[in-house]
């Protein structure tokens, strides 16, 4: 190879080496550039990581600082908590799930009287051991191990019941333990010594109060008995004295004695009732009764007093309301008596109206009644209305008493109404009158409420003559309900002007100005009018004796019960008044008994035998005088023992038995009589005569074997009723010997 070729090849090789070197240098430069970029990125990442690490370190420092502060706060809170726990007087302790003491305040530890072993770490069983061995707890008659077992069983229950223990020092500790979810127990030891002692004082005070209440009830019962016993003589003798021939002045004195004695008995009854209500011992005795009849009976009792004062007593009973209910008729009559009696007492002119309205409930078993007593009396001042149902309150000033009374009537009525589940109210306008009302819900009695009234044919128009506007509207409403049209007027002269042949019935009042009801009847008959006339009179006894009675078809008591009014209208069927006559019906001649007839009478059936046991001489005299008009054979026993002996020998038909007697009381005597009757097979009625009037006395007396119960002072009509009912067949009628015994 030539030199030129070799040089050319070397040159080509050198150029190739240079190009390869340049290429490698370029690659190295590129790699260096990439390495620089990577180093820069790595450097930046290191810087960032270093910053993050620094931040973490800073956060750790901050957390450490906050944790230190929190720990300090917890320590402060714990110190404050335990400081508070230490300051309270009650014991406070913590136990872990293994029943080991964690901590306790000084009040809890002080119970153990400084025992060093009772400290955090001690087990509850060991604490119980120390309590019994050191005599710290008064366990009474229980054995120590029994008491510990009882306390341990309580401790291990999920919800320990509170336990009261008594310490040796006489203090009472109430243990209240609460178990947590993890088994830990918080134990409280409450010192209830003051509470226990206070409860003891309360029990003692209650015992004394109950003893005082029993003493008061006993005192009232005894006083009632002691007062009623002589009052039986006073009232009974006054009643008997009034049946004798007396001058007008003597009759006034006797009537005053009787009324005063009965007023005293009303006061006694009010005090007894109020005492029973206050002691919550008054019991309602429900039975069937007729409300309308009860109201009319009360009005009849007060009619004489109202008539003397010149005031009208009116009754407006809802025509569509039942009359038969279930309730305590005695207490309802007592309420009505108080309200109606007050209305009459405080009314000098005008009227007193008893209005009964109500609605029968949808169940048709009960009815809500509203009874309203309206008067035109003195009224009640506004400042006293709110206190009218208070105890011992009266309308008039106590320093200038015009009206007598205890002031308990309205208070008793209000409490009785509340006891029946009702309400009572009052509205009054001073100087114009008052309206008292009460509402109660009563069951409707099962007795049939239907009344079969058949009005006469052709009775379409009635002439009502009544001077009192309110009573006139009541009568018109009652007749309109029956389908009878009414023409009304206020006096007899207007009635004569309105009278025509179209009128089928005249309904007139008795007492009217210028011309009364009988004079009106005579004028009508003289004018040729033959329509039936029904007279309404507040005193039917005097009305029946009037010579003009022959012109009247019926005389009805005023205010007239609607049942009696309807019955009187029913009785008019086919009746036409006769021609008026001036003759008065002759009186029935007296029967003259000859000596022969008397001898026959001696052969008639025997007289009723009555045995009366009474230790009080005055009461024996009263009883004998009350029954002297009866055809009976009377024998007295002075005590219960004598009554039993006389019962065996005398063989009475009825026994009147006093309850409180020496040697043997009436209940024991009756019990012995009943034992005798078991052998004889007969049963003689025994009637209690007692001055006991407390609640429960009647039930106790009846339970002793007596059949009936009479409260002193005795009433002649009540004695007569029992004598008549006890009369057996074959014995002369004690009231009328000419009539056979039914």
371 pairs with which residues across the strands? Answer: 356, 438
Q: Per-residue DSSP letters for 455-522? A: PPTT--EEEEE-S-HHHHHHHHHHHHHTT-EEEEESSHHHHHHH--TT--EEEEES--SSS-HHHHHH
Listed in sequence order, the DSSP H helices in 160-247 are: 193-242
Rounded Cα distance between 61 and 67, Å, is: 10
Instruction: Answer whether 324's CB lies under 8 Å from 287's CB.
Output: no
Report the pLDDT value the prediction gives residue 491, as an integer from 0 to 100: 92
Kindly state the tokens that stand for 325. Answer: 């209910």
Enter the DSSP assignment of 736: -
State the Cα–Cα distance between residues 61 and 63, nearest whole angstrom.
5
Alpha-carbon torsion angle 664, 666, 667, 669, nearest 10: 60
Q: How far apart are CA 547 and CA 518, in angstroms?
A: 9
CA–CA gap between residue 344 and residue 113 (Å, rounded): 79
Q: Using CB atoms within 10 A of its CB, is residue 62 exposed (0-12), middle (13-18) or buried (19+)?
A: exposed
Angstrom distance (rounded) from CA 658 to CA 709: 10
How far the first Cα of the chain sits from its last, in Å, is 188
Query: Which residue is it, tokens 């230490």?
Result: 86
CATH 3.20.130.10 fits 602-726, yes or no: no
User: Phi, psi at residue 373, to the nearest 5°?
Assistant: -115, 115
Q: Do domains 91-191 and 461-570 have the same CATH topology?
A: no
Q: For the chain, give every domain's residue range.
A: 1-82, 91-191, 287-443, 461-570, 602-726
- Domain topology for 461-570: Rossmann fold (3.40.50)
Handedness of CA 612, 618, 619, 623 (dihedral sign): positive
Q: What is the pLDDT of residues 533-564, one digit of tens each?
A: 999 988 887 788 888 888 898 899 888 887 88
Q: Which two tokens stand for residue 578?
A: 């006769």
| CA gap 198, 196 in Å, rounded | 5
User: Residue 669 in contact with residue 677, Cβ under 8 Å?
Assistant: no
How many residues in the chain?
Answer: 742
DSSP per residue over 653-704, as a string?
A: SEEEEESS-SSS-HHHHHHHHHHHHHHH-----EEEEE---STTHHHHHHHT
Mark the ranges of the chain whose per-residue pLDDT is less than 50: 396-403, 448, 450, 576-602, 740, 742
The two three-digit tokens of residue 647, written as one number:
């019962």
pLDDT of 590: 39
Note the Cα 437 to chain centre separation in Å: 17
CATH fold of 91-191 reads: Beta-Lactamase (3.30.450)
Q: What is the pLDDT of residue 598?
A: 46
For residue 75, the surrounding DSSP H or E stretch is helix 3-87
For 287-443, CATH gives 3.30.565.10
How crowded is residue 463: how many other Cβ atoms within 10 Å of its Cβ?
23
Would you say 543 and 519 are in contact if contact means Cβ atoms under 8 Å apart? no
Q: What is the pLDDT of residue 451?
A: 54
């Amino acid at each position: 190879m030539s030199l030129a070729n070799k040089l050319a090849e070397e040159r080509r090789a050198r150029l190739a080496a240079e190009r390869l070197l340049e290429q490698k240098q370029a690659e190295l430069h590129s790699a260096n550039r990439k390495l620089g970029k990577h180093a820069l990125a790595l450097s930046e990442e290191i810087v960032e990581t270093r910053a993050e690490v620094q931040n973490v370190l800073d956060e750790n420092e901050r957390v450490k600082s906050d944790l230190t502060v929190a720990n300090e706060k917890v320590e402060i809170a714990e110190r404050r908590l335990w400081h508070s726990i230490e300051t309270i007087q009650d014991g406070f302790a913590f136990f872990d799930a293994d029943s080991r003491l964690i901590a306790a305040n000084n009040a809890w530890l002080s119970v153990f009287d400084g025992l060093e072993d009772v400290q955090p770490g001690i087990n509850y069983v060991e604490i119980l051991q120390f309590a019994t061995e050191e005599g710290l707890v008064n366990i009474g008659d229980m054995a120590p191990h029994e008491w510990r077992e009882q306390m341990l069983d309580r401790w291990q229950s999920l919800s320990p019941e509170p336990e009261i223990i008594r310490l040796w020092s006489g203090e009472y500790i109430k243990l209240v333990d609460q178990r947590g979810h993890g088994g830990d127990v918080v134990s409280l030891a409450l010192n209830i010594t003051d509470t226990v002692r206070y409860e003891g004082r309360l029990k003692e005070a209650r015992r004394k109060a109950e003893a005082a209440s029993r003493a008061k009830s006993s005192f009232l019962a005894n006083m009632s008995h002691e007062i009623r016993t002589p009052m039986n003589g006073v009232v009974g003798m006054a009643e008997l004295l009034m049946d004798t021939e007396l001058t007008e002045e003597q009759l006034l004195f006797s009537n005053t004695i009787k009324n005063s004695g009965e007023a005293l008995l009303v006061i006694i009854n009010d005090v007894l009732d109020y005492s029973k209500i206050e002691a919550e011992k008054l019991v309602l005795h429900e039975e069937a009764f007729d409300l309308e009849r009860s109201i009319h009976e009360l009005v009849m009792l007060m009619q004489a007093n109202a008539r003397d004062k010149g005031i009208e007593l009116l009754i407006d009973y809802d025509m569509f309301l039942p009359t038969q209910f279930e309730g305590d008729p005695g207490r309802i009559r007592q309420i009505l008596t108080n309200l109606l009696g007050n209305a009459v007492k405080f009314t000098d002119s005008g009227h007193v109206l008893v209005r009964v309205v109500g609605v029968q409930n949808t169940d048709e078993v009960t009815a809500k009644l509203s009874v309203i007593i309206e008067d035109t009396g003195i009224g009640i001042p506004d400042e006293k209305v709110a206190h009218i149902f208070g105890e011992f309150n009266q309308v008039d000033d106590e320093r200038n008493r015009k009206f007598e009374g205890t002031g308990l009537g309205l208070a008793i009525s209000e409490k009785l109404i509340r006891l029946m589940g009702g309400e009572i109210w009052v509205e009054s306008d001073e100087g114009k009158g008052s309206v008292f009302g009460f509402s109660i819900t009563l069951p409707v009695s099962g007795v049939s409420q239907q009344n079969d009234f058949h009005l006469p044919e052709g009775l379409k128009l009635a002439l009502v003559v009544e001077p009192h506007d309110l009573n006139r509207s009541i009568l018109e409403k009652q007749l309109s309900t029956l389908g009878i049209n009414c023409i009304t007027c206020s006096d007899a002269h207007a009635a004569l002007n309105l009278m025509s042949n179209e009128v089928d019935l005249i309904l007139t009042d008795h007492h009217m100005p210028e011309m009364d009801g009988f004079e009106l009847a005579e004028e009508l008959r003289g004018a040729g009018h033959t329509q039936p006339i029904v007279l309404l009179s507040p005193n039917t006894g005097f009305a029946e004796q009037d010579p003009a009675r022959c012109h009247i078809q019926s005389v009805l008591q005023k205010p007239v019960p609607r049942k009696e009014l309807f019955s009187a209208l029913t009785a008019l069927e086919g009746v036409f008044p006769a021609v008026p006559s001036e003759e008065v019906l002759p009186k029935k001649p007296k029967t003259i008994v000859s000596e022969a007839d008397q001898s026959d009478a001696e052969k008639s059936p025997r007289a009723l035998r009555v045995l009366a046991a009474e230790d009080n001489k005055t009461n024996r005299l009263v009883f004998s005088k009350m029954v002297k008009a009866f055809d009976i054979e009377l024998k007295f026993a002075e005590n219960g023992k004598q009554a039993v002996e006389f019962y065996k020998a005398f063989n009475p038909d009825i026994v009147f038995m006093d309850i409180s007697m020496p040697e043997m009381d009436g209940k024991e005597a009756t019990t012995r009589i009943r034992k005798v009757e078991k052998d004889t097979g007969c049963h003689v009625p025994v009637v209690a005569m007692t001055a006991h009037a407390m609640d429960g006395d009647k039930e106790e007396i009846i339970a002793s074997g007596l059949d009936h119960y009479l409260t002193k002072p005795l009433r002649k009509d009540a004695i007569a009723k029992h004598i008549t009912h006890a009369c057996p067949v074959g014995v002369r009628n004690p009231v009328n010997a000419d009539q056979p015994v039914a």
